Amino acid sequence: MSLQSLQSLLLATFHLLTANYFLLPSPPPLPTNPMKHIIIIGGSFAGISTAHRILKQASKTTAAPFKITLVSRDTHFYWNIAAPRAVMPGQFEDEKLFLPIAEGFKGYPAVRVEVVVGEAVGVDVEGKELEVCVDGAGVGEKRMLRYDFLIVGTGSSSREGMPFKSLGSTEGTREALRGLQERVKGAETIVVLGAGPTGVEIAGELSGEYGAAKKIYLFSRAAAVLEGRPASVSQTALKQLQKLNVDVRVSTSIETITDLPDGRQELTTSKGEKVVADLCIPTYGVQPNSSYVPAQFLDANGFIKVDEYLAVRNADGVFAIGDVSDAEPPQFWFVDKQSLHMAKNMVLTLSGKTPVPYKVSTTGMMGVQIGKKGGTGHFGSFKLPGWLVAMLRKSLFVENLARTVDGSML
């Protein structure tokens, strides 16, 4: 064997015996945070605002991967705050009341948010899946969407199919609103049933617009208009309605409604009086949109039971906000407050931090427009000046529609 061959053999043997001493240890695998899927149900104030708030806040405070899927029965956001005036023809163009929801989320990366037009028809809280009918009509193609967190913000509906809130689809709501406008236009005698905020605003809008050309009644089984509000507010509302020539009947319920051959209706009151109306507009009460939620999570009136974190009791990862929950009365002020808190807590959770409890408001507040120049309201026990309410609600905030849909006002 040559000297050169011997050197090569010794060198190869050396490397073989000492190779492990010179190899660096493999680094441990990097931890991975799985993508969290947040499903938000509801295409109105609660759902839209919460989605925007999470997207905006999370981009600034956490690197945790997540995706939001917004499920909405409606293709368009409906600015129902203006509904009491919109029942009259010619008050608003469609684009002042309805705007496409999906357009409002185009400013975010597609990996972050998806808008699904469909109706929630079932929730499997054990399997963490939401069943969605993608045609929005409760029949047809079904999709099962798996979630890590589910935020329910499906709101409430007006009774008797009135278009004061969404009726289940944008087209259905538009058609109902246009139909009501035509009936208002042709009616000479209109009876508004219920003297809560919606009834008071509608009666005031009708009388303020048509004056003596139409006879407007306002019936309430309660002892006062705006019952449950400070007495001074109720009295002011009554005086303003009477000044507009609204015929207000309190402590009076409707016992029977009889359809007449000419298309009108005859109403018999609890006091034995008969009133013939061309149009009746019921405004009393709302019902929560919770039919798809298992019964054990609902109270006796159909509202979803939540705890101090707005979490649905005994349903892991599920939350409910706005009109559909039992946290606070169905009112815009409370919806916005809950949305703000829900977004904050969701971002804390995504960041691995502890969420904070929600503080239920103990201060009642309300503002109602009565005609285009009047109004009343209160904050707690403090009565708001009528001129201030009328000035603030003059446009019924329709200028905020676009900024609500695209999140720019949040």
- Element of type H or E holding 109: none
Give all strands (DSSP E) within 226-300, no chain letters.
247-249, 254-259, 265-269, 274-277, 279-282, 286-288
- Residues 270 and 364: their CA atoms lie apart, in Å, by 31
Q: Report pLDDT digits (tens) over 161-201.
A: 899 999 999 999 999 999 999 999 999 999 999 999 999 99
What DSSP designation does 68 have?
Answer: E
The structure tokens 């559909």 sit at 324
Residue 154 predicted with pLDDT over 60: yes
Over residues 52-58, the mean pLDDT reads: 96
Domains assigned to the chain: 36-161+286-361 (3.50.50.60), 187-282 (3.50.50.60)
Report the mean per-residue pLDDT for the chain: 92
Strand ranges of the sheet holding 247-249, from the earlier edge strand across to the other edge: 247-249, 215-219, 189-193, 279-282
- Residues 316 and 285: their CA atoms lie apart, in Å, by 31
Residue 17 predicted with pLDDT over 50: no
Residue 54 predicted with pLDDT over 70: yes
- pLDDT of res. 138: 54
Per-residue pLDDT band at 34 (split at 50, 70, 90): confident
- Residues 359 and 191: their CA atoms lie apart, in Å, by 40
Residue 15 predicted with pLDDT over 80: no
Sign, CA dihedral 273-274-280-285, equals positive
Residue 27 predicted with pLDDT over 60: no
Per-residue pLDDT band at 62 (split at 50, 70, 90): confident
Nearest of 53, 70, 61 to residue 113 by alpha carbon = 70
Per-residue pLDDT band at 56 (split at 50, 70, 90): very high
Give, in order, the Cα–Cα distances in Å from 374 to each of 35, 130, 204, 242.
Answer: 52, 46, 9, 12
Q: Both tokens of residue 222?
A: 């309660």
Sign, CA dihedral 217-220-223-227, equals negative
Residue 43 predicted with pLDDT over 60: yes
Nearest of 76, 73, 77, 70 to residue 40 by alpha carbon = 70
Nearest of 151, 140, 156, 141 to residue 66 by alpha carbon = 151
Strand ranges of the sheet holding 265-269, from the earlier edge strand across to the other edge: 254-259, 265-269, 274-277
- pLDDT of res. 159: 84
- pLDDT of res. 64: 87
Residue 394 predicted with pLDDT over 70: yes
Per-residue pLDDT band at 137 (split at 50, 70, 90): low
- Residues 249 and 208: their CA atoms lie apart, in Å, by 18
Instruction: Give Cα 247 to chain centroid, integer Å.
Output: 33
Residue 4 predicted with pLDDT over 70: no
Q: 345 or 8: whose pLDDT is higher? A: 345
